[in-house]
Amino acid sequence: MILPKVKYPKAGISPRGTYVIAQNITFPANVNLKMAKGAIFSVDTGITVTINGSIEAGLWQIFGGAGSIGGSPVVECVYPEWFGVISNLSGAATTNAAIINRYLNGSNMSILKFQSHSDYYIDDTLLLKSFKGISGGIKSRFILTTTNKDAIRYFPFALLDNFTIVLPDNHTKAGVKIDDSSDFSQYASTDNFHHIIQNIVVRGSNALLLSTGLDCRCLDTFNISNLQVTNFTPIWCYYGLLIDAVGTGWSNGNSFINIYPQACQYGIYNGDGGTGGCAGNRYIYTVQVEKTIGKAISGIYAGGTNNVYIGKVWDCIVGQF
């Protein structure tokens, strides 16, 4: 089917079927796009559907094809199911990274909202490039299926809220990494942005491998500041929380409140940094160290200067987690 021309403030796409979008189209702010179950926009390669009005749809797919969905729709949140993402509640769990990344990099849409009590399998890194947010619910989990990939990378800003990342056996990368690699080359630093990570659990499998719960290392090309991390729990990672800098990079003035590393080799690692240092960071924490792994400098490496540490380190029972 070819999408009919939109003339009225309420555009109801009622009939089931696939609507092939073969040329760029814009739904203006006065158009309410109401998608019936079974109605899908299949956007051709190189084509963009721009949505600036509201969207009404349930937890079913409404977008498909290799093209892009753009614009600034008037919605409280966006559901990954709209783009064809499948959770273990929706059917056979699949690897969803490519579908999710198409959304994360294609529009100015709002928070991507994942469902409670659902597992979402990902076979590649989720890249948050355009000031996006990911929010979950009770027992929302991202299950990474590859050992040599970060689960989530972003720069310079993101909102991450209320989900668990499950890392595979023998994983050697990060659950969440702030990164200015070529994927994020349009930004120089996080200085002018407030980024929030809250209510996140990263569950590793082996604290003797170089896996990291939250990786905040800075290279020569960028700095990190105004990062607010609250209620963050890394489990069985080598580094629970890693803050460091290389060369002229720096990671200063960040806030880490209610950090609960469990059975990590280093619960918190605040490095000495490069010429810019790692200074003025604030930590409130409870670090639990599994006895068979060793305390590894009491569970905390306190490099840098003028950092504030409030909390305690204590041994946990082997296998407690």
Residues 271-304: tens digit of each pLDDT: 987 777 788 999 999 998 766 554 444 588 999 8
**Close Cβ partners of 64 (under 8 Å, ≥ 6 residues apart):** 18, 40, 41, 42, 43, 83, 84
Residue that the structure tokens 């469990």 belong to: 262
Mean pLDDT of the chain: 82
**Close Cβ partners of 319 (under 8 Å, ≥ 6 residues apart):** none
Tell me which residue of 222, 220, 259, 223 sits closest to 241, measured CA to CA: 259
pLDDT at res. 298: 55
Range ranked top by mean pLDDT from 5-9, 24-28, 106-110, 190-194 = 24-28
Say how far apart CA 88 and CA 125 lie, in whole Å: 19
pLDDT digits (tens, 9 = 90+) for 46-67: 999 999 889 999 999 999 988 8
Tell me which residue of 245, 154, 243, 160 sits closest to 202, measured CA to CA: 160
3-state secondary structure (DSSP) of residue 12: strand
Element (DSSP H or E) covering residue 11: strand 10-13
- Asked if the model's pLDDT at residue 319 lies above 60, the reply is no
User: How many angstroms separate the most distant Cα atoms in the chain?
Assistant: 69
| Inter-residue contact 281 to 251 (CB < 8 Å) | yes
